[in-house]
Amino acid sequence: MTEITAWFARNGRHDLPWRRTRDRWAVLVSEVMLHQTQVPRVAAAWPEFYGRFPTPGAMADAGPGAVIQAWGTLGYPRRARRLWEAAAAITAHGWPDDLTSLPGVGRYTARAVAAQCDDADLPAVEVNGRRVAERAAGRALSDRDAEAVLVDLGAPLRGRDRLLALMDVGALVCRPRDPQCDACPLRRRCATRGARAGERGSRQPRYEGSFRQRRGRVMARLRAREAVEARSLDADALASLVDDGLAVVDRDAMARLP
């Protein structure tokens, strides 16, 4: 048994709820939620959210407002709107051969769903995998080059196991700060053995005092009540939410979720 295979068997995050299924919809929901949100927060929110919308049809029928409401405080609620749009497209036309044709689904997400659900032998680069690949190579990499490095690093694993194993290496040992190189199964093949020179941090912009916070305050009020007088809300933040399809203002100047 190779080091990466043994490490993943012992240390992989096998208990994450969306890893217990090969259902495309369940995994797609988890991937959308994980984008820009930490795993512990998603692990706490996913079971209830998925339980409420267990199929694309259930989400499509519920409408965007219900999905945004259920999204709660996970942040970046445009993801919820795009997920509802994807659910509506799947319900109307079935699952497309190319998942990137769905709203909000890019190359990584499409490949991650295919690898996890169909065991497709497709490498996929998210933030943790990229960090592992670039530290191992000792340089910044394009998406395609990072994919090739991950295939090499993950061998003999393939498909689902390779994707999840390398993702977990990045999350648990090859961390952005304080990497645990002595515990890394890839240390013998790593050019960097720690943070790479010139490595850019992945911290999100400051939330306190930001326009995101202003939008969040408006969203909180809209989630709390069926309708709110538009004039009582931050006008610029509300206009931004309307532009993103996350709020509507009716002819009586009452704002609500769509």
Which positions are catalytic? Answer: 31
For residue 107, what are its two tokens? 């190359």
Any idea which residue has 């890394």 for tokens?
A: 184
**How many CB atoms neighbour CB 165 within 10 A?**
25
What's the rounded Cα separation, in Å, for the pair 35 and 41?
Answer: 12
Contact indicator for 123, 150 with CB cutoff of 8 Å: yes
What is the torsion angle, in degrees rounded to the nearest 10, for the CA atoms of residue 56, residue 62, residue 66 and residue 67?
10
Could you tell me the sign of the dihedral formed by the alpha carbons of 191, 193, 199, 202, in that order?
Answer: positive
Nearest to 55 by CA among 83, 78, 82: 83
Nearest to 163 by CA among 119, 224, 214, 212: 119
User: Distances from the Cα of 171 to the Cαs of 38, 46, 185, 255, in angstroms?
Assistant: 10, 19, 13, 40
Q: Which residues of 122-149 are buried (b: 16+ CB within 10 A; e: fewer)?
A: bbbbbebbbbbbbbbbeeebeeeebbeb
